[in-house]
Amino acid sequence: MQQKNIIITGATDGIGLAAAKEVSKKGYHIGLVGRNPEKGKKAIETIISYSGNENLDFFECDLSLVKNVKSLSEQIKQKYNKVDVLLNNAGGANKKKIITSEGLEKTFATNQMNYFVLSTELLNIISESNDGRIVNVASNAHIGAEVDYGNINSEKSFSAWTSYCVSKLMNIMFTYQLSLMQDKVSINVLHPGFVDTNIAGNEGNLIKYIVKFGAKMFARTVDNGADSSIYLSTSDEVKGVSGKYFFKCREIKSSRASYSQEDWKKVWELCDNYKNKLI
């Protein structure tokens, strides 16, 4: 069997690293994407000692900048003839309002623009696979969120939690829209559960301690939290399944708002306009 190539963003920690470890056991060649080369080196050592699979490349990229994501996609296209799976996982929340040097609010830029640009730029090379897949890590935090098109970059107001929830709603809408627009590549989206990771690591003290306390009490382990990411990336059971939302390896419904086709198009156009403007 021809070796399969998978790109995993945010593979230096948390759910992304847990997924990378398991996928390496299945014999995939993995392109790990992260912003911190020291953590990248450590992730590679961890994976090799876990599975013995040395087919690993590390791509350094700060995914909060559209230009960087474009350049990452060029590096990936130079390195591989085909990509079988793109696992868009990197993301997080920012305590304070941060506007990137490209003029985008950082949570929106990292969590949504990054997924959009990498997926659309790699779509051709993923189509080269006979089982090409894109897997997007979203969150049930999207439930209750609505996209305020006048506040995409927190022009009117900023809330760390709202920015995060809206970005995760956009992940889902973008998935549904891309699935509708083409049938060469399967694209699905998932909720990993409440998982004990570093996700609140850059948050303020109160949020950080509440999340950490809650995590110890109620959260899924990182390995369990990676279950749907691994399943959607590698299982034959979901070959050809597209445009669906998963939790614990089962299809579930996303929020009512997430099924508005009008919003799918609006989110697509919004991201496409920023992409065209910035690269």
Residues that bind ligand NAP (CB under 6 A): 10, 12-16, 34-36, 39, 62-64, 89-92, 110, 137, 139, 192, 194-195, 197-199
Smallest separation (angstroms) from ligand NAP to the CB of 274:
16
Point out which residues pair with 191 in neighbouring strands. Answer: 247
Which residues, at least 6 apart from 128, have a Cβ–Cβ distance to it below 8 Å?
A: 81, 82, 83
Smallest separation (angstroms) from ligand NAP to the CB of 126:
19
State which residue, 31 or 34, has the beta carbon closest to ligand NAP: 34
Q: Which is nearer to ligand NAP, 139 or 234 (CB)?
A: 139
Closer by beta carbon to ligand NAP, 90 or else 185: 90
- Considering beta carbons, is residue 129 or 133 the nearer one to ligand NAP? 133
Nearest distance, CB of residue 83 and ligand NAP, angstroms: 18
Written as one string, the DSSP assignment of the chain is -PPPEEEEETTTSHHHHHHHHHHHHTT-EEEEEES-HHHHHHHHHHHHHHH----EEEEE--TTSHHHHHHHHHHHHHH-S--SEEEE------SS--B-TTS-BHHHIIIIIHHHHHHHHHHHHHHTSTT-EEEEE--GGGTT----TT-TTSSS---HHHHHHHHHHHHHHHHHHHHHH-SSSEEEEEE--SB-SSTTTTS-HHHHHHHHHHHHHHPBPHHHHTHHHHHHHH-GGGTT--S-EEETTEEE---SGGG-HHHHHHHHHHHHHHHHHH-
Q: Closest distance between ligand NAP and the C-beta of residue 191, in Å?
A: 6
User: Least distance in Å: CB of 238 to ligand NAP?
Assistant: 19
Q: Minimum distance between the CB of residue 18 and ligand NAP, rounded to whole angstroms?
A: 8
Shortest reach from residue 128's CB to ligand NAP, in Å: 25
In the complex with ligand NAP, which residue's Cβ is closer, 117 or 137? 137
Nearer to ligand NAP, 48 or 143 (CB): 143
CB closer to ligand NAP out of 36 and 182 = 36
**Cβ-proximal residue to ligand NAP, closest one:** 14
What residues contact residue 214 under an 8 Å CB cut-off, 6+ apart?
Answer: 194
